[in-house]
Amino acid sequence: MTDQIFLIAAYGMIILLSLLAVITIAIAGWALTAYIIDVRQTRHTVRRNFPVIGRFRYFFEHLGEFFRQYFFAMDREEMPFNRAERSWVYRAAKKVNTTISFGSTRHLDLPGTVIFVNSPFPALKTEFAETQPITVGEYCRTPYTTSSLINVSGMSYGALSKPAVQALSRGAKKAGIWMNTGEGGLSPYHLEGGCDIVYQIGTAKYGVRNELGELDEDKLHAIAAHEQVRMFEIKLSQGAKPGKGGILPGSKVTEEIAAIRHIPVGQDSISPNGHPDIRSVDDLLDMVARVRAVTGKPTGFKAVLGDINWIRDLCRAIQTRGAESAPDFITLDGAEGGTGAAPQPLMDYMGLPLGQALPMLVDVLDEYNLRPRIRVISSGKLITPDRVAWALCVGADFVVTARGFMFALGCIQSFQCNKNTCPTGITTHNARLQRGLVPSDKAERVAHFVETMEQEVGVIAHSCGVDEPRKLTRHHARMVQPNGEAKLLSQLYGSKDFHPGSEIQFSED
């Protein structure tokens, strides 16, 4: 018996040593091959000077994207979203305690910091009011009335996976908010949850285009026939890439997506950088009127501001044509907006951030007395209650976010959106990776995120002494200046505040 055990152990040792020898030979063979390749190639200096070892530089550089956020960066350091911001969304979406202890980790004296003005007599619980509903498109055959504060911004099916769209649609229905389709057209997965939908018409006019890429009114009418489609948004530009069209790699253009968009299968889907048929503010108003006439539903546009003068031209054109010619809403995206793929020069250097652009837009619309005729929808890194409350103070009627809802779905900010390798299944068409995203579970998180957001924006509003968030004004927030003084927004931008119940008036100019 002892001999048998000895023989088994000996055979096991021989097999183990043989396996180690094979592995060693394989590693040595790979290292020798890599060495020869590295010293002979001329493209990579580090690999040529440090053969084999230099290859690990790229591996560690890749790992750094993931390790920084967990081990090295402080809570308030990261970009574009720091750990404190992401953590709040995760906890809100999971409906766990969002309170913190000991003290704020936020620097309260940095220029640009927003500080809300607490009232000595905050609104009591018995005085809390429901969020006031707002009607968009009173001149339309089918206006849209909603009391939602925060809604799902434009994210296309194609850029997002099927389960991600399903989860957002179901969650939006539970929360009573709308979901924007993004420029990729209307899929069955947008509709299946039963939520209200804003259909975005991008520069390529996906889903409502003919063979030449022009607007097809029959297809547009067919989209409008869906009762869930409540509004239409003409996308002029978005914050991450003003002046550049949408980009969907060919690897993501499946047969289904190609059919929805009316484009070829497997080819890169690159939208024009502008609408060929919208080259002036008059063209824009003509397109708004055309879409509204065909659909009968509120129609507006989405844009990034680099300058305010063209908005003034738009307002003057509206006054010449009449109030009914105005867009029913303007969605303003800040330069800090995100996307799955964009040229870095545009993402880093083009367009005004929302902090500057939103007050400018609201003030010009006020100057021409075009509110509430034109509703203002604000977009751009508005994923926490303070940012939403700030936008309401400045003058926004609604807030939309894309990345806030991506975090609610489980996004870990791994920067893989453009590579079809998203580890959380949100922006990939890899079935194995999509498997981890269960729509029924994530729909609950989407709804919880909205519920918690509305509650905590309400907490800010009540602390400021008003009974509901839409009554926040520029008198209710301050912004820290370079000299350290925190000035009221009403001092910085002007104090003309608008409330949803105001009457429409047009200037005599």
pLDDT digits (tens, 9 = 90+) for 272-314: 888 999 999 999 999 999 999 999 999 999 999 999 999 999 9
CA 472 to chain centre: 24
pLDDT band (50, 70, 90) for residue 173: very high
Contacts with 98 (C-beta within 8 Å, 6 or more apart), sequence order: 88, 91, 92, 452, 456
pLDDT at 328 over 90: yes
The predicted pLDDT at position 387 comes to: 94
Question: Are the C-beta atoms of residues 83 and 73 closer than 8 Å to each other?
Answer: yes
Per-residue pLDDT tens for 41-96?
876 666 777 788 777 766 666 566 555 555 545 554 555 666 778 788 888 888 88
Contacts with 323 (C-beta within 8 Å, 6 or more apart), sequence order: 139, 373, 504, 506
The distance in angstroms from the start CA to the end CA of the chain is 108
Q: Which range among 8-22, 336-350, 383-397 has the greatest average pLDDT?
A: 383-397
Confidence (pTM):
0.83
Q: Quote the CA–CA distance of 383 and 197 in Å, as a whole number.
A: 20
